[in-house]
Amino acid sequence: MHVSLSTLRQALQLVDGLAEIDDPADFGERVLPGLAGLIGCDLVSYNEIGAGPTPGQAYSCGYPAEVI
């Protein structure tokens, strides 16, 4: 499998941007647009089940935001 240099740079920029996230609740909304561009898709979602201080708590977000 060949990965172009521009795709590798894009992936590294995405990962580097994750270091700027102060609040874990912002993770999905920050990573999904970059991930969608990197893998070339129309829709991507992030889901957590059983995360957070309350057992059984669920969280989801999608990109584009109006999809969910």
For 50-55, the CB contacts below 8 A with 24+ separation are none
pTM value? 0.75
pLDDT the model gives residue 4 = 92
Residue 34 per-residue DSSP state: H
Q: How far apart are CA 45 and CA 68, in angstroms?
A: 8
Tell me the one-letter amino acid at 54. Answer: T
C-alpha–C-alpha distance, residues 46 and 67, integer Å = 12
Q: 4-62 pLDDT, tens per residue?
A: 999 999 999 999 988 889 988 888 889 999 999 999 999 999 988 886 667 778 888 99
Instruction: Name which residue leads in pLDDT, 51 or 67.
Output: 67
Three-state secondary-structure class, residue 21? coil
